[in-house]
Amino acid sequence: MAVVKPAPTEPFTFVFVAAVVIFFTLFLLFGQEPLSDTSSDNDLISSKGEIIFSADYLSLISNKTQSARTIDFGDFDVGHISKERTIESIDSLVVERGLFRSASKEFSFDGVNLEDAHLVFTVDDTNDYGNLRIYLNDEVVFDNKTVNGAEYTIEFNNLLLHNDIRVEAQSSGIRFWAPTTYILSDMKVSAASFDNVDEMYSFIVYDYEMAGFDAMLSYEVGAGSVRLDDFNVEINGNDINAEKRPMFGGLYKETFDRTDGVIAAKPDTNYIKFFADGDAMYAVEGVQLTITYFDSDKAAVSEYTVVVDEDTYDDMENKTIVLEYYVDKLSDDALLDVSLNEQMFNQKTVLYENQIVLGQDDFRRGKTNLLKFSTYGIYRLSDIDIRIVDDDNFKLF
């Protein structure tokens, strides 16, 4: 039987098989080239910059007790309010009329936006030789003898834009050798005027109240209010009231904590101001500020030393330094305080990614730096690091 030998392999076949083997070998070793960049912004941030500090995990657990303090500001009106004010005041006055001696008193005032104006005075002494006469804009409004020790009130019903008052004594008549004399005291011109009135109070937040600080401002609005424009409440220049035209009879509550930036991180004298815009008037009643704080001294604290040598410090110039940390668990009723070299950062910690932007001046050159986390609640952190990032490449989460 004849043996059939296989036909010799073509050179092209060897080349093709070799190419296929090489291609699949390279594919298995290096993987397929992506068609587009699928990395997230967060990945870009985390992959850039020089890490100068890193900690994998941090757990903070604290037992706390809570207390409260209430500051009572009472009742008051703010806005376009009619209030009595003193226009002119004279402690003592002597007026006389005689052949050889005479003295009178004149003064002026503007009548714009004034109503219910009146003149009040007391007669300390008189010889009653002649009448006491008082003029308003050259019109006699009082002309009579008086009683020693009595107080007199004269109503002014027809004020002008500019008003003149003259007080004088009348002739003693046949007693020409002795002048009519009136000794007056406590002479005062008063009137009601519409002014834009606000109320401002100062209050203290004590050092021990900064731990777990929360605050609630509560107030009611009286029925006599005129809601033509907005009602405003500010603390240290920060607007805190959400309801700008509160309704009559409603109880309003505004809440804020330390991270809102209303209260400074360090306790100090604070100011609260109530005012209204335009022609509005608000009768504000039962105004109270309640401060809630943790009175336990058992805060959970963790501290790290961050060494920044001179070369690293110099590298920070004109660069952005970022403190990043990830939160796996947080306490709803307690803040996480983060500080570097005792400088507290007013930033609210949220679940998952957190960033605090720093600068070169926040660090000490060639020295150790103290990074501190503390809370009166429960927090679990991970992936804590501080890195130097080029400004061109820096993006917030």
Cβ–Cβ contacts within 10 Å for residue 215, how many? 25
Q: Does residue 7 fall inside a structural domain?
A: no
For residue 275, pLDDT over 80 is answered with yes
Q: Does residue 80 fall inside a structural domain?
A: no
Same domain for 302 and 290, yes or no, is no
State how far Cα 117 lies from the chain centre. Answer: 39
318 DSSP 8-state letter: T
| CB contact at 8 A, 384 and 327 | no
Q: Model confidence over 190-242: pLDDT tens digits?
A: 998 877 889 999 999 988 888 778 899 999 999 889 989 999 999 999 999 98
Q: What band does 133 get if pLDDT is binned at 50, 70 and 90?
A: very high
Residue 28 backbone dihedrals phi, psi, to 5 degrees: -70, -35
Phi-psi region of 287 (alpha: psi -120 to 50; beta: other; left: phi over 0): beta
Q: Does residue 69 fall inside a structural domain?
A: no
Q: Is 177 exposed, middle or buried (0-12, 13-18, 19+ CB in 10 A)?
A: exposed
| CB contact at 8 A, 120 and 107 | no
| CB contact at 8 A, 367 and 305 | no
For residue 265, give the CATH number of its domain: 2.60.120
The pLDDT value given to residue 178: 84
Domain boundary among 165, 194, 223: 194
Q: Model confidence over 65-120: pLDDT tens digits?
A: 778 899 999 999 999 888 788 999 999 999 999 888 889 999 999 888 788 899 99
For residue 348, give the CATH number of its domain: 2.60.120.260
For residue 291, pLDDT over 60 is answered with yes
For residue 34, pLDDT over 60 is answered with no
Mean of pLDDT values over 237-261? 88
What does the alpha-carbon distance between residue 57 and residue 384 come to, in Å, rounded to a whole number? 7
Same domain for 120 and 174, yes or no, is yes
Domain boundary among 272, 294, 316: 294
Does the CA dihedral 313-315-317-322 come out positive or negative?
negative
Residues, the chain: 397
For residue 13, pLDDT over 70 is answered with no
Same domain for 93 and 144, yes or no, is yes
The pLDDT value given to residue 33: 36
What does the alpha-carbon distance between residue 258 and residue 253 come to, in Å, rounded to a whole number? 17
Same domain for 212 and 240, yes or no, is yes
Q: Kindly report which listed range (6-10, 72-76, 85-89, 374-378) carries the lowest average pLDDT score.
A: 6-10
Q: Does residue 101 fall inside a structural domain?
A: yes
Same domain for 161 and 91, yes or no, is yes
Count of structural domains within the chain: 3
Same domain for 355 and 270, yes or no, is no
Domain boundary among 194, 228, 258: 194
Of 277, 397, 257, the residue nearest 332 (C-alpha) = 257
The pLDDT value given to residue 91: 95
Instruction: Mention every residue, 6+ apart, whose C-beta is less than 8 A from residue 63.
Output: 296, 298
What does the alpha-carbon distance between residue 347 and residue 337 come to, in Å, rounded to a whole number? 8
Same domain for 305 and 367, yes or no, is yes
Q: Does residue 25 fall inside a structural domain?
A: no
The pLDDT value given to residue 186: 96
Determine what percent of the chain is predicted with pLDDT higher than 70. 85
Q: What band does 7 get if pLDDT is binned at 50, 70 and 90?
A: very low
- For the chain, the maximum distance between any two Cα atoms, rounded to a whole number of angstroms, is 181
Determine what percent of the chain is predicted with pLDDT higher than 90. 54
Mean of pLDDT values over 336-362? 92
Strand order in the sheet with 300-308: 300-308, 367-375, 336-340, 343-344
**Structural domain of 287:** 198-294
Same domain for 263 and 346, yes or no, is no
The pLDDT value given to residue 250: 84
Mean of pLDDT values over 240-257? 89
pTM value?
Answer: 0.52
Mean of pLDDT values over 258-277? 83
In three-state secondary structure terms, 46 is helix
The pLDDT value given to residue 266: 61
For the record, the structure tokens of 300 come out as: 């959970």
> At which residue do the structure tokens 């209204």 appear?
276
Of 73, 74, 77, the residue nearest 282 (C-alpha) = 77
Q: Whole-number mean pLDDT of the chain? A: 84
Same domain for 278 and 308, yes or no, is no
Same domain for 230 and 275, yes or no, is yes
Q: Does residue 247 fall inside a structural domain?
A: yes
Same domain for 302 and 253, yes or no, is no
Q: What band does 5 get if pLDDT is binned at 50, 70 and 90?
A: very low
Of 373, 212, 237, the residue nearest 292 (C-alpha) = 212
Of 344, 345, 361, the residue nearest 308 (C-alpha) = 361
Does the CA dihedral 382-383-388-392 come out positive or negative?
negative
Mean of pLDDT values over 353-366? 94
Q: Does residue 367 fall inside a structural domain?
A: yes
Instruction: Answer with the residue of higher pLDDT: 371 or 80.
Output: 371
Beta bridge partners of 57: 382
Q: Does residue 145 fall inside a structural domain?
A: yes
The pLDDT value given to residue 180: 93
In three-state secondary structure terms, 173 is coil
For residue 4, pLDDT over 80 is answered with no
Same domain for 218 and 288, yes or no, is yes
